[in-house]
Amino acid sequence: MSEVIQVEELVVTYRDPETRAVRTAVDRLTLAVQAGEVFGFLGPNGAGKTSTMNVLLGFTPAQGGAARIFGVDVREPIARQRIGYLPELTYYYKFLTAEELLRAYGRIFGLGDAEIRARTAELLALVELESARHRLIRTYSKGMQQRLGLAQALLNQPDLLILDEPTSGLDPLGRMKVREIILRQRAAGKTVFFSSHELGEVESVCDRVAILHQGKLRALGTVAEVSQGDAGRLEQAFLRIIGWENPAVAAAK
C-alpha cells in the first residue's frame, strides 16, 4: 500500500503566553499512514495530537522535520484538496440551515449545483439530519452539530478523512453511526486518520494506532501489538504507556 501521510522527525513548538518560555508540543515525531487504513491517533490531553493535525492541515507551521500528504508537502495548498476534516469543536454560521451550510461548502469545493443537491440529500440522510435540514443551526444540539460537521467533512468525497474527536458530544447511537461511517469509508478504499479518547471505539475500527505522550511517539502498531502483555486491553496498555498509576495503588505503596 502507498503512504497517504508521511511525518518525519516533526517538531512543533509554541511560546507559553504566561512565561514566554518555548514549549515543545511535538518532539521529532515519525510515522506513516497507509492508503485504505483506519489509523487511531491517541494520547492524553496535551500530548501533541491536535498540533500534529494542525500541521497536516496547513494551520500551523512546523519548526522542524517534514510532513507530506499524498506525497505533497503539506505547506502546498494542493496537498489538502483531497482531505475532509472534522475539528473537535465545530463552529458554523448559526444563522444558516444545514442545507444552506452544505451548499456553501459545496461551492467552495467547486461542486456543481446538481452534485451539491445530491450530496446534501445523501449525507443529511446518512447522519440522520434529514428531518432537520431546514432548521437553523443555532437550534441544533451539540451532537447534531457534530453530525453536521461529519457531513461537511464527507461532502467532497475525500480520499483522506481527518477527524479530531469525532464522537465528542454524541450519545451511544451517534457513536455507533460514526463507527459505521468510518468502516464504510475504509470499505470504499478511503483513509481515515482520527484522534479519540474513546478507546473502545478505537479498538473496534482501527487497523493501527499510535500513542503520543508529551509530544513523543510512545507506541505504534496494531491494537493487538500495542496491547500485547496487557491482556489485549487497549485501555490498560494506554495507561501503562503514558505512565499513569492508580492513586489508590500509589498511596498503598
**142-179 tens-digit pLDDT:** 889 989 999 999 999 999 999 999 988 788 888 888 89
**What strands lie across the sheet with 38-42, from one edge to the other?**
83-86, 160-164, 191-195, 38-42, 208-213, 216-221
Which pTM was predicted? Answer: 0.90
In this structure, what DSSP letter does residue 253 have?
A: -
Grade residue 198 by pLDDT with cuts at 50, 70 and 90.
Answer: confident
Burial of 172 (0-12, 13-18, 19+ CB in 10 A): exposed
pLDDT for position 143? 86
Could you give the CA distance from residue 215 to residue 221 in angstroms, rounded to a whole number?
Answer: 18
Domain borders along the chain are 1-82+197-253
Kindly state the average pLDDT of the residues 19-30.
93
Grade residue 200 by pLDDT with cuts at 50, 70 and 90.
Answer: confident
- Percent of the chain whose pLDDT exceeds 90: 68
**59-80 tens-digit pLDDT:** 999 999 999 999 999 998 877 7
Cβ neighbours of residue 80 under 8 Å, at least 6 residues apart?
57, 58, 69, 74
pLDDT for position 250? 47
CATH architecture of structural domain 1-82+197-253: 3-Layer(aba) Sandwich (3.40)
Helix (H/G/I), strand (E/B), else coil: 78: helix
Nearest Cα residue to 195 out of 42, 45, 38, 83: 42
Q: Is the pLDDT of residue 115 over 80?
A: yes
Kindly state the average pLDDT of the residues 11-36.
93
Q: Is the pLDDT of residue 197 over 90?
A: no
